[in-house]
Amino acid sequence: MNLKQEISDLTVGRALLAAWVFTYHVDLYLNFSAWLGPCAGIVRHGYLGVDGFFILSGLILARVHPELSRAGIHPQLSWESFGTLQPFHPRAWHFWGKRLARIYPLHFVTILLFAAIFGVGIAFGVTPRDPARFSFPAFLENIFLLQGWGFSSHGAWNYPSWSVSAEWAGYLLFPVLWYIISYLDPVVSVAFILSSLTALGLIDVEYMHTLNLAFGSGLMRFFPEFLAGIAAARIVPNYADFLPARVLAVLAVALILIFTSLGSDVLTVAALWLLLFSLTMQADAERPPLIGHIQWLRWLGLLSYAFYMSFALAELLLAQFFRHQGWTPASHSLFFAAGMLAITFAVAVVLHSTVEVPCRRAADRWLDTPTSPLLPIRSK
């Protein structure tokens, strides 16, 4: 099948992961999960939606960029001549240009919106609860996408963007990582996936049985999952035609529910990997999508990045409004929850349509033109 073709099930999966993270952050204020009984775990572990994004990122990038694999760059290259590779192949520059164009404009605009809100608040004598969050050094870290590389131990400005910073670190290394993994035999790739999950287990033990690591320690959480996603793309074609993808996907959902109720982050991440792997196999075998045919869910998936990047703006606005009114979120829980959803959704729609989509299209046109210095070299 066409590897460049969108996998609608994974697009819908992005919407569900973003909603999971959003629900977790709302619960931090309202603690409504206390009323959910055995289902509380799925809400309280919503931060693992970010882990799903990390796995998905590696899987999708490897799938849609075969030109960066060993076969795409040097089809006749032997392992002995691996050391002679150019470190910065022109295709890598093309890849980095497109990836930066996909994540940075929206990130930059949200930083400007935070700066505007902070500035207006200061002008009217209203300061945020944590003014240090809006320091100039933190601003520079965010502008240069360094806030998730271990320089800070707390969230600043648009704090969810720490994961975008981690993704950018993965993008920078992706051409090398994918080149190496594409060399591996599929059996070795399976061992590579198991090793990545084992590394997560060790991290989980070291950090008191949680993978809710962000900011200064977020890269430790990111890279094993990103690598597991890349390796998953390597083995999908070998198993897609005979493994029961639909059954495995249903099993993975059940395991996610079970493991979150048991409080096991590592096993939940393993189940997330199985789910994304199963959905990709379903598409690779050219079977009908399991949930991707639902158009409104697919649209939400396309909106997911803007949605994820907008909820902290809604949180800041509502927190300031509640402070001004002398309210607490728990005392007006329905108003707070509805306000978070409405503001986040409205901002996401505006940013998606006026920033994200136009910038992506402009970058695609520029980077794919014959005069572009970043045009990928075609294999002869």
DSSP symbols for 129-161: S-GGGG-HHHHHHHHTT-TTTTS-SS--SSGGG
Q: Residue range 168-174: average pLDDT?
A: 95
Do the beta carbons of residue 314 and residue 337 sit within 8 Å? no
pLDDT band at 371 (very low <50, low <70, confident <90, very high): very low
| Candidate from 188-202, 307-321, 360-374 with smallest mean pLDDT | 360-374
pLDDT of residue 320: 85
Asked whether residue 79 is assigned to any structural domain, the reply reads: no
pLDDT band at 93 (very low <50, low <70, confident <90, very high): confident
- pLDDT tens for each residue of 186-205: 888 999 899 999 999 999 99
Please determine, for residue 182, whether its predicted confidence score (pLDDT) is greater than 70: yes
Please determine, for residue 78, whether its predicted confidence score (pLDDT) is greater than 60: no
pLDDT of residue 373: 41
pLDDT of residue 1: 52
Name which of 332, 336, 292, 287 is nearest 314 in CA terms: 336
Highest mean pLDDT among 75-84, 92-101, 153-162: 92-101
Asked whether residue 84 is assigned to any structural domain, the reply reads: no
| Candidate from 30-39, 67-76, 170-179 with smallest mean pLDDT | 67-76
- pLDDT tens for each residue of 119-151: 887 777 777 777 778 888 889 999 999 988 877
Asked whether residue 254 is assigned to any structural domain, the reply reads: yes
Distances (CA, A) of 199 to 206, 214, 226, 320, 346: 11, 17, 12, 41, 39
φ, ψ of residue 231 to 5 degrees: the values are -65, -30
pLDDT of residue 55: 97
Q: Residue range 95-124: average pLDDT?
A: 90
**Owning domain of residue 181:** 8-73+89-367
- pLDDT tens for each residue of 326-341: 899 988 999 999 999 9
Asked whether residue 78 is assigned to any structural domain, the reply reads: no
The larger pLDDT score, comparing residue 128 to residue 360, is at 360
Asked whether residue 225 is assigned to any structural domain, the reply reads: yes
The larger pLDDT score, comparing residue 332 to residue 183, is at 332
pTM: 0.91
Asked whether residue 375 is assigned to any structural domain, the reply reads: no
| Count of Cβ atoms closer than 10 Å to residue 136 Cβ | 7
Asked whether residue 14 is assigned to any structural domain, the reply reads: yes
Name which of 53, 42, 45 is nearest 17 in CA terms: 53
Count of the separate structural domains present in the chain: 1
Please determine, for residue 380, whether its predicted confidence score (pLDDT) is greater than 50: no
Helix (H, G, I), strand (E, B) or coil at 42: helix
pLDDT of residue 79: 46
Distances (CA, A) of 280 to 246, 285, 290: 11, 9, 11
Residues of the chain above pLDDT 70, percent: 90
Asked whether residue 353 is assigned to any structural domain, the reply reads: yes
